[in-house]
Amino acid sequence: MIRRAPVTAVLAVVIVIALLSGCSHIFERPFADVPADLIPVFQAAAATYGVLSAAQLAAQARVESSFDPAAVSHAGARGMMQFLPTTWAEFGIDGSGDGRADPLEPRDAIVSAANYEAHLAEAVADLPGDRTSLVLAAYNAGPDAVRAAGGIPDFDETRAYVARVHDWAATYRDQL
């Protein structure tokens, strides 16, 4: 009769061997560089609106869509920055200069997100807490939810969203 080791014991041994052999990168979070052609767009949008840094805007695009300009959510949010049609109608900007504001065009979506975040920053300015986190929470849950909660609402999705954007921003800080 052959005795098999429990799966957790085998996994633990594999992890220890990998770490000892210098393969710790296997267990790191997958890294996705900011698309090089969009770096100046993130930088310009951050400089123009001054709410989020370029790294924070890029992190937001990573969390929202993994930089996919054609992304569409189950709720109907569209583009790299995941704008709902009603929000886009109010805050969409022609950042590409082609005469048309399109949420599927990254150069439009990025500058529009920065524009919208300037509006959100004003909407939550009198609330206590970290300004960036409040703006990110308002982008995710809506400014009314943030105001009603008196800060970041106790929604698992929103709290996770804010944390993920902060994590990716730290990752992108040196690239941007």
Report, as residue numbers or ranges, the catalytic residues. Answer: 64
Alpha-carbon distance of 52 to 116, in angstroms, equals: 11
Instruction: Provide the 10 A C-beta neighbour count for residue 117.
Output: 26
CB atoms within 10 A of CB 127: 17
**Pairwise CA distance, residues 22 & 115, whole Å:** 45
The closest alpha carbon to 104, from 60, 66, 67, 70, belongs to 70
Nearest to 70, CA basis, from 112, 21, 105: 105
Tokens matching residue 36: 């090089």
Per the CB < 8 A criterion, the answer to whether 46 and 57 are in contact is yes
Q: 109 by DSSP, 3-state: which?
A: helix
